[in-house]
Amino acid sequence: MFTLAAILLTPFPAARANPLDDATANQSAAIAPLAAVITPPLPGPTAIVKMQDDDPMYSPNIVKITVGQTVEWRNTSDVSHSVVDDPAKADRASDVALPRGVKPFSSGNVMPGGSYRHTFTQPGDYRYFCWSHEVDKMLGEVIVKPLPPSAAAAAAQAQARPWSARERQRDP
């Protein structure tokens, strides 16, 4: 006697005979965009900002990314630098911007050859400065765009807790 699982897991003979037929290729093409949306991002930064001693001191000084992406600041200069978006630490209020309700971040001193990464989880404009060089106008900005609605829905679905077998048994 066959079990239901064995019947469902048995491939059709046509699929076994030619797994790369046109129908399969069309299905793969239709699924690929969705897989790209719900696949977690590859490790590593989305954008790299160099911290240097010459203008622009943050290069590039404006970065545009999407929620969930990471920026890495690399100190390519001969002195320490930092990345600070804490209004309490700024000499000028206009040097800092944070979306409402977002906690500020600070890299501390990033020594020459060092780096600092931050992943942005909320959309909005983040204006930051170097604590040691704010007076020299070492300022930068990260503009974080929200996920497109379809990507946001797919990401939420991918993170949802699957039903347990016990919960399925209770569902009529």
Average pLDDT, the chain: 78
Residues of the chain with CATH 2.60.40.420: 47-149
pLDDT tens figures, 114-160: 999 999 999 999 999 999 999 999 999 999 999 888 765 666 666 66
CATH superfamily of 47-149: Cupredoxins -  blue copper proteins (2.60.40.420)
Greater confidence (61 vs 166) lies with: 61
Global pTM reads 0.64
pLDDT tens figures, 77-109: 999 999 999 999 999 999 999 999 999 999 999
CA atoms within 13 A on the CB side of 106: 12
Residue whose structure tokens are 């600041």: 73
